[in-house]
Amino acid sequence: MERKTKVHAEEGTQDILITREFDLPVELLFKAYTEPGIVAQWMGTKVLKLESKKHGAYEFETTDPQGNVLFRAHGTIHDIIPDQNIIRTFEMANAGFDVQTEFIRFEALTDDTSKLTIQSVFRSVACRDAQLKLPFAWGINMAHDRLQQITNALK
C-alpha cells in the first residue's frame, strides 16, 4: 500500500493535486475533516469556526505563544456529501494569495482503508506557484532567523 502523500503540480497549470491513502475506514477519514476538535489537532491550528454543512463557513487561526497571529484562513463550504466529497473555498488572510477552490474526495478502498484526493484550483499559475513554494520560503526564513539568533548570541 502506498502510504506516502503525493503531490502533483504540473508546470504551467493552475492546480495542485494531493493524494494519500490511509489505514482508516472512510468514515473516520471524513470525520477528521468535519469535527472541529479533530481538525485542530492534525492541522495544528485553532478552529474558530467549522460548519460542516452546505453553505457553512469555516475559520482557522494559528498564534504563537505570545498570541501573535501567524496564520489565518477561512472559506465557505460549497457542497458536502458524507464520506464522499467536500467542495470548499480556501483563502489565507493577508498572504497576498487569491482564494482557491478545493475539491476534496473521500473514497473507501476496503473496509479499513481509504483514499483522499484534494484538487486545489488557483486563480492563476503564479498564485499556484506562490502557494507551493510557501513552506519552502518559511524554511528559508527559519534558517535565516536561526542564523540571526546565533549571531546575536555572539555579540
Partner 1 sequence: MDLRRDIFQAIADPTRRAIITLLVAHAMTPGAIAANFDSTRQTISRHIQILAECELLTQQQNGREIYYHLNPQKMKIIADFIEPFRSMWDERFNKLETIMRQYKTKK
C-beta of 19 vs 84, nearer to partner 1? 19
C-beta of 3 vs 66, nearer to partner 1? 3
Task: End-to-end CA distance of the chain: give it in Å, rounded.
Answer: 52
C-beta of 4 vs 155, nearer to partner 1? 4
Give the Cβ contact number of residue 91 at 10 Å.
Answer: 14
What amino acid occupies position 4? K
C-beta of 66 vs 82, nearer to partner 1? 82
Nearest Cα to Cα of residue 50 among 70, 32, 65: 32
In the complex, the smallest distance separating the C-beta of residue 147 from partner 1, rounded to whole angstroms, is 6
Nearest Cα to Cα of residue 53 among 84, 81, 73: 81
What amino acid occupies position 73? A
C-beta of 33 vs 77, nearer to partner 1? 33
User: Would strands 100-108 and 57-63 be described as parallel, antiparallel, or unpaired?
Assistant: unpaired
In the complex, the smallest distance separating the C-beta of residue 58 from partner 1, rounded to whole angstroms, is 16
> Which residues would be at the binding site for partner 1 (CB under 8 A)?
4-7, 9, 18, 20, 22-25, 28-29, 31-32, 38, 41-44, 116, 126, 129, 132-140, 144, 147
In the complex, the smallest distance separating the C-beta of residue 40 from partner 1, rounded to whole angstroms, is 10
Q: Is the dihedral of CA 119, 122, 124, 125 positive or negative?
A: negative
In the complex, the smallest distance separating the C-beta of residue 124 from partner 1, rounded to whole angstroms, is 11
In the complex, the smallest distance separating the C-beta of residue 55 from partner 1, rounded to whole angstroms, is 25
Q: How far apart are CA 45 and CA 66, in angstroms?
A: 15
